[in-house]
Structure 1
Amino acid sequence: MKRFEWSLRLKGFPVKEAKKTQAIIDGFGTNDYGNYLSKQLQSIVAFHLKHTPFYSTLCQDINTSNWAEIPVITKGNLQQPLANRLSDKYTIKTVHKHKTSGSSGTPFEFAKDNFAHAMTWVTFMQRYSWFNIDLNTSKQARFYGIPLDTKSYYKERLKDWLGNRYRFSVFDLSDVALNKILQKFKRTKFDYINGYTSAIVQFAKFLERKNIILKEVCPTLKVCIVTSEMLFDDDKKLLEKQFNITVVNEYGAAELGLIAFQDQQDQWLVNSNHLYVEILDDNNQPVPYGTTGKIVITDLYNRAHPFIRYELGDLGSLSDKSTLQHPILESLTGRTSDFISLPSGKIAAGLTFYYVTKTVIDKEANVKEFIVEQTKIDTFKIDYVANEALSSSQQKAVQTAVDKYLEPNLNLVFEHKAILEREISGKLKQFRSEF
């Protein structure tokens, strides 16, 4: 029984039609794909100019026949009631509504028409099948947050049942909770793991402490798919070692669906089925392959709400091996908001600070997880979870690394905690700044 597809169709999402469209796209040669993309870009712009007052106002006095002049939509543009942003062909009751997680600091409600939402899920099905995962039949071990109010809680549990998955809450990652997760793996024939990177890494560290290989406990496991948070190379090696299965990095956003997915050759293939991805500089001009810039995305099919040249808030680069039809995401370096302003005037990516600190702590101490918060221009607070507090020599090692890789004379404040505060969604924001 195709329970998952059945649940989508029951909600009015035309999965069959989306699959047919995807099959046509997959069959395009280079020239045909270029023509298809050009046609879809022109079509989606023309539709929203005609039917979406919000978008036509943004494009007022602009030559929309020139793609480079089409405005980049920011999250700030979208922070107004959803009804103000819908096209006149849809109403609040005839669209798929959802909210972004707010991890960028600017949450908002968005909408997709039913066909656009079906295209999103058909793409997920296609990519997961690369690793022999069928969303209709494969059992998922899901590491995600879950609402705690009764109605929303059971709504998510029903969605989990329809999606053939079992959810482990990421809000409790104590050894007691992780041991319960382990016991569930022993009793259940899971096919794959999916969820927030930080929580899955904590489970792997727990297995490492117990000297347990998950594949030996749950032989049916095929692959681990991590999403929503950065996956560092050493963490990926840990997951591969303790799970003894393939680890795949997924990059997506609630409002767009799947953006990029690693294939069997470890290439991060961009979803070119229904998205067009650009990398732009601060002046909204395209940058060469291999150069880091703002990730800007157009949804080719969403007619309910315009996501046209939408600035996601992330930074990344495309590989020089990319083609129009098969773009390859070379790097994902964090959010545009995750930058450190240092006393010297130097600007650094927030994840650089996190990574430097993480490298030292992993080597020198028993720290399970931690977050870094910039509280003053020269002061950084490091909250961490560990069996024992960091010794003075371990704290000094972190300070030395920060002096070397960022700049000297920065103040580090260490705080030993029993548990770290996660966002409402359950994600762990690894770097925060009040500046």
Structure 2
Amino acid sequence: MNLTNLSLSLNGYDIASAKKELDILNKKVLQNTERYNAQHKAAILDFHLKNNEFYSRFVSEKSTEWDALPIMTKSDLQIPLNKRLSVGYSNKNCHIHKTSGSSGTPFIFAKDKYCHALTWASIQNLYLTQGIDLNTSYEARFYGIPQSGISRYKERFKDFLSHRYRFSIFDSSYHNFENFIAKFKHNKFGHLNGYTSTLLLFAKYLNTKHLILRDICPTLTHCIVTAEMLLESDKQFLEHQFAVPVINEYGASETGVIAIGTAQHSMKIDEALIYVEILDASNKPVPDGKNGKIIVTSFFNKAHPFIRYQLGDIGVINRDSNGNKILTSLEGRIGDYAVLPDGSKIPALAFYYVTKNVIDDSGNIKEFVIDQQAPNNFKIIYVAENKLSESQRAKIKKSLLTYIKQSVTIEIIQKSSLNRSNRGKLKQFTRSF
């Protein structure tokens, strides 16, 4: 039995009322999405202009027409939390949380308790649309966890209440993966959920052992990847090695799940709780089908404003046959591009993809990252049991130089592990200038 709802209720989060209201909200979205969005945009904007001094100053004398409202970024929120809360809200009557920091600008934020209850009700509902019942499906959770102390026990207790077991992803040794396999042999897990890079590491280990995860754990039905990019080749590999369909989840700790769907297909946006916009570099809306910055608004968070909030990601929105918004592409993070000696830029995702295609040929490398030190200097840092041969290193360099078409230095460095955020996210490309 999943004890999450009971725990939420006991801690003042009215999950029962939230579930009932969510049903009503979803029906209203279906009836007239444009009217629903207009009403809730106006309501949350009016509330924060009247009740949140931080937000009213942030808007200042600017027009309160929606398209003229300023875009809110993470750096705008890096001031003490008590200076950002609405009237009547404090640390004592809110859900307080911290972003992962993988974007480089971590901060603490708040949700009022009813908003948090709505978020959880919606998460459970969105998972059901993918065939996963969080009340019955035992989750194998591949996330970071504190290594020791009270924080570790708190996470373990939260996992117990949420009917899940957390696999520590900071140790990618063969010994640890053997412990993972033993857990799957002796537990009836329903679905996996975790960061793409770590699930791929585990899948690669299973491959070396000629094991299919569902043969070990027949109760498995789905794999959910989140927080990191998923390439088509990786999706196919995961589906082969786990023998279950892969679901792509896109969300943020500040807002909850934003969109969900079968990997490499369109993702359903949670239009009941969140308004999503795609804007260009000048903060103007782009047509459906064109990429741009993903901007979100939380309709129901009264404690803390997230109005036209820039997540830092790039994506594409289209419409389905019923006219509903769907997220059809996630294309990395804003600023994720390599700057070459002549000043030209290349997308980090494409750059990473070219490298990955060559590196995968070795069959030896567990994972890798690319760090650009200067316009003419790149480091490829990889983890592998065996060092790459000179011919393999030469092949990687040749492939990259062919793609870049400029004179640059490429260093290839082997390490025993890669640096991750404190929650376990891996940033595949970094630029240090």
Q: Is 1:26 paired with 2:26?
A: yes
1:104: which partner in 2?
Answer: 103
RMSD over aligned CA atoms reads: 1.6
Residue of structure 2 aligned with 1:425, choices 423, 426, 433: 423
Q: Which residue of 1 aligns with 2:390?
A: 392
Per the alignment, residue 180 of structure 1 pairs with: 179
Q: Distance in 1 between matches of 2:209 and 2:102?
A: 33
- Checking the alignment, whether the CA contact within 8 Å between 1:143 and 1:194 is kept in structure 2 is yes
Secondary structure of the equivalent of 1:122?
helix
Counterpart AA for 1:101: S
Measured in 1, the distance between the counterparts of 2:262 and 2:17 equals 25
Give the aligned residue type for 1:142. R
State the shift of 1:320 in Å: 4.8
C-alpha displacement of 1:31: 5.2
- Whole-angstrom distance in 2 between the partners of 1:392 and 1:53: 61
Q: CA deviation at 1:386?
A: 1.2
Where does structure 1 differ by over 4 angstroms across 4 or more consecutive aligned residues? none
Partner of 1:73: 72
Is the counterpart of residue 352 in structure 1 residue 387 in structure 2?
A: no
**Alignment partners' CA distance in 2, 1:200 and 1:265:** 17
Report 1:188-203 matches (<5 A): 188-203=187-202
Residues 195 and 29 of structure 1: CA distance in aligned 2, closer, same or farther (over 3 Å): closer
Deviation digits for residues 236-295 of structure 1 (CA, Å, limit 9, x no counterpart): 101100111111011111101101100599421111120000000111100011111110
Amino acid in structure 1 at the alignment position of 2:385: N
SS in 1 for 2:294: strand
Write the distance in 2 (CA, Å) between the matches of 1:161 and 1:41. Answer: 37
8 Å contact 1:378–1:411 — kept in the other structure?
yes
1:16-415 equivalent positions in 2, closer than 5 A: 16-28=16-28, 32-64=32-64, 66-263=65-262, 266-321=265-320, 326-415=324-413
Say if 1:45 and 1:124 are closer, same or farther in 2 by CA, change over 3 A: same
Where 1:137 maps in the other structure, the secondary structure is: coil
- The Cα of 1:30 is off from its aligned counterpart by 5.2
Measured in 1, the distance between the counterparts of 2:310 and 2:139 equals 31
- Cα 1:280–1:265 shift into 2, 3 Å: closer
Is the counterpart of residue 6 in structure 1 residue 6 in structure 2? yes
CA contact (8 A) 1:4 1:135 kept: no
Can you give the 5+ residue segments of structure 2 that lack an aligned partner in the other structure? Answer: none
Q: Could you tell me how far apart the structure 2 residues matched to 1:295 and 1:27 are?
A: 25
Quick one: which amino acid aligns to residue 166 of structure 1? Y
Could you say if the C-alpha distance between residues 118 and 355 of structure 1 is closer, same or farther in structure 2, counting changes exceeding 3 Å? same
Matched AA of 1:370: F
Query: Distance between the aligned counterparts of 2:14 and 2:30, measured in 1?
Result: 28
Contact 1:73 1:308 (C-alpha < 8 Å) held by counterparts: yes
| Structure 1: distance between partners of 2:179 and 2:236 | 24
Deviation at 1:339, TM superposition (A): 1.9
Alpha-carbon distance in 1 for matches of 2:110, 2:59: 20
Q: Distance in 2 between matches of 1:349 and 1:337?
A: 9
Deviation readout 1:399-426 (Å, 9 max, x if unpaired): 1221222233221111111222222111
Q: How far, CA to CA, are the matches of 2:155 and 2:2 in structure 1?
A: 19
Aligned with 1:328: secondary structure?
A: strand
Q: Distance in 1 between matches of 2:63 and 2:415?
A: 55
CA contact (8 A) 2:276 2:296 kept: yes
Native 8 Å contact 2:278 2:295 kept in 1: yes
What SS does structure 1 have at the residue aligned with 2:412? strand
Deviation at 1:311, TM superposition (A): 0.6
240-249 vs 54-63, which moves further: 54-63
Contact 1:322 1:328 in 2 (8 A): no
The 1-side partners of 2:309 and 2:428 are apart by 24
Residue 380 of structure 1, CA deviation = 0.9
CA contact under 8 A between 1:279 and 1:318: conserved in structure 2? yes
SS in 2 for 1:289: coil
- 3-state SS of 2:75 partner: coil
Shift in Å at residue 138 of structure 1?
1.5
2:47, 2:288 → 1: CA distance? 30
Residue pair 1:278, 1:286 contacting (<8 A) in 2 also: yes
Distance (whole Å) between structure 2 residues aligned to residue 347 and residue 22 of structure 1: 44
Q: Distance in 1 between matches of 2:237 and 2:2?
A: 34
Residues 354-383 of structure 1 show CA distances to partners (whole Å, capped at 9, x for unaligned) of: 211111100234111011111122111111
TM-score where L is the length of structure 1: 0.96
| Equivalent position SS for 2:32 | helix
Deviation string for 1:286-342 (max 9, x for gaps)? 001111111000000000000000011111111254876x21111111111322111
SS at match of 2:251: strand
Kept in 2, the 8 Å contact 1:55–1:306? The answer is yes
Distance 1:249 1:30, change over 3 A: closer
By how many angstroms is 1:75 displaced? 1.1
Change (3 A) 1:273 1:4: same
Cα drift, residue 34 of structure 1: 2.1
**Aligned partner of residue 254 in structure 2, secondary structure:** coil
Give percent identity, aligned residues only: 46
Aligned residues: 433
Structure 2: how far apart are the matches of 1:285 and 1:323? 25
Q: Residues 294 and 316 of structure 1 are in contact (CA less than 8 Å); yes or no, is this contact kept in structure 2?
A: yes
Q: Counterparts of 2:136 and 2:24 in 1: how far apart (Å)?
A: 25
Give deviations 1:92-128, integer Å, cap 9, x for gaps: 2111011101111111111000111111111110121
